[in-house]
Amino acid sequence: MAAGARPTNPPPSRFVLPILGLVALGLCVGGILVLIEPHGGQNLLAAIYDALGNGAGATELRNGSGDQLVARIILAVIAVGVGVGGIWLLFLGVGGLVGMLRPAWRDRILPWVFVGPALILLATYLLYPGAATVARSFFDAKGAFTLDNYAVMTTPSMIEILRNNVIWLVVATGGSVILGLVIAGLFDRIRREALAKTFIFLPLAISLIGASVIWGFMYAWEPAGQPQIGLLNAIVTGLGGQPIPFFTTSPLNIAAEMVIMVWLQTGFAMVVLSAAIKGVSTEIIEAARLDGAGERQLFFRIIVPSIRGSIVTVTTTVAIATLKIFDIVYVTTGGRFHDDVVANRMFHEMFQFFNDGRAAALATLLFIAVLPVMYLNLRNFRRQQVER
Partner 1 sequence: MANRWRATSALAIGVLMVAGACSSNATPSAPGASGSAAPSGPAAVPTVPTGYAELDKALGADKPYSGKTVDIQVQWTGGELANFQASLADFAKATGINVQVDSVPSSHETVLKSRIEGGSPPDIAQLAQPTPVLAYAAEGKVIDVSKFMDPNKLKTDYPATIGLVSANGGVWGIPYKADVKSTVWYPIKAFEAKGYKVPTTWDELIALSDKIVADGSNPWCISAGGPGDATGWQITDWIEEVVLKTKGTQYYNDWISHKVTFEDPGIKDAFDKYVGKIFFTPNYVYGGPQAIINTDQKTTMDPMFNQDMQAPKCWMQKVPTWYGPDFFPDQRASGQPSKYIVGKDVGIFPFPTIDPNQNNAEGSADTMMMLADRPEVRAVEQFLSTPQGLQRWIEAGSAISPNTATPADWYAGSYKLQVASNIVSKASGIGFDASDLMPGAVGAGTFWTQSVDWVNNDGKNTDAVLKAIDDSWPAQ
Give the distance from CA 196 to its chain's centroid: 28
Considering only 313, 322, 332, 380, the residue that binds partner 1 (CB under 8 A) is 332
Stretch that binds partner 1, among 4-12, 182-190, 317-325, 346-354 (CB under 8 A): 346-354
**348 sits near partner 1 (criterion: CB under 8 A):** yes
Q: For residues 79 and 241, give the distance between their C-alpha atoms in angstroms, rounded to a whole number.
A: 63
Considering only 4, 103, 223, 227, the residue that binds partner 1 (CB under 8 A) is 223
- For residue 150, the minimal CB distance to partner 1 (Å) is 16
- Nearer of residues 155 and 297 to partner 1, judged by Cβ: 155
**162 sits near partner 1 (criterion: CB under 8 A):** no
Considering only 9, 65, 281, 282, the residue that binds partner 1 (CB under 8 A) is 65
**337 sits near partner 1 (criterion: CB under 8 A):** yes
**215 sits near partner 1 (criterion: CB under 8 A):** no
Q: List Cβ neighbours of 203 (8 Å cut-off, separation of 6 or more).
A: 211, 263, 264, 266, 267
Backbone angles phi, psi at 100, to 5 degrees: -85, -5
Q: For residues 169 and 175, give the distance between their C-alpha atoms in angstroms, rounded to a whole number.
A: 10
Stretch that binds partner 1, among 76-84, 99-107, 328-336, 379-387 (CB under 8 A): 328-336
- Nearer of residues 63 and 297 to partner 1, judged by Cβ: 63
For residue 372, the tally of other CB atoms under 10 A from its CB is 11
Q: For residues 123 and 130, give the distance between their C-alpha atoms in angstroms, rounded to a whole number.
A: 9
Q: For residues 66 and 178, give the distance between their C-alpha atoms in angstroms, rounded to a whole number.
A: 63
The DSSP annotation for 64-126 comes to: T-SSHHHHHHHHHHHHHIIIIIIHHHHHHHHHHHHHTS-HHHHHHHHHHHHHHHHHHHHIIII
Give the distance from CA 155 to its chain's centroid: 31
- Nearer of residues 289 and 336 to partner 1, judged by Cβ: 336
Q: List Cβ neighbours of 234 (8 Å cut-off, separation of 6 or more).
A: 228
Q: For residues 94 and 308, give the distance between their C-alpha atoms in angstroms, rounded to a whole number.
A: 44
Size of the site for partner 1 (CB under 8 A): 33
Strands annotated E in 248-288: none
Considering only 168, 215, 221, 268, the residue that binds partner 1 (CB under 8 A) is 221
Considering only 63, 124, 198, 297, the residue that binds partner 1 (CB under 8 A) is 63
**300 sits near partner 1 (criterion: CB under 8 A):** no
**125 sits near partner 1 (criterion: CB under 8 A):** no
Cβ atoms of 188 and 274 closer than 8 Å: yes
**245 sits near partner 1 (criterion: CB under 8 A):** yes
Q: For residues 50 and 47, give the distance between their C-alpha atoms in angstroms, rounded to a whole number.
A: 5
- Nearer of residues 268 and 347 to partner 1, judged by Cβ: 347
Considering only 157, 198, 207, 297, the residue that binds partner 1 (CB under 8 A) is 157
**160 sits near partner 1 (criterion: CB under 8 A):** no
**62 sits near partner 1 (criterion: CB under 8 A):** no
Count CA atoms within 13 Å of residue 359 on its CB side: 14
**Which residues is 145 bridged to in the sheet?**
139
Stretch that binds partner 1, among 90-98, 109-117, 188-196, 343-351 (CB under 8 A): 343-351
Cβ atoms of 385 and 161 closer than 8 Å: no
Give the chain's radius of gyration (CA, Å). 31
**352 sits near partner 1 (criterion: CB under 8 A):** yes
**207 sits near partner 1 (criterion: CB under 8 A):** no
Considering only 333, 363, 369, 373, the residue that binds partner 1 (CB under 8 A) is 333
Stretch that binds partner 1, among 220-228, 275-283, 284-292, 311-319 (CB under 8 A): 220-228
Q: List Cβ neighbours of 300 (8 Å cut-off, separation of 6 or more).
A: none
Considering only 133, 355, 377, 384, the residue that binds partner 1 (CB under 8 A) is 355
Stretch that binds partner 1, among 58-66, 127-135, 181-189, 255-263 (CB under 8 A): 58-66
* Closest CA relative to residue 314, chosen from 378, 386, 377: 377
Considering only 81, 302, 326, 338, the residue that binds partner 1 (CB under 8 A) is 338
- For residue 266, the minimal CB distance to partner 1 (Å) is 25
Q: Which residues are near partner 1 by CB under 8 A?
A: 63-65, 141, 155, 157, 216, 221-224, 226, 245, 247-248, 250, 330-338, 347-348, 350-355
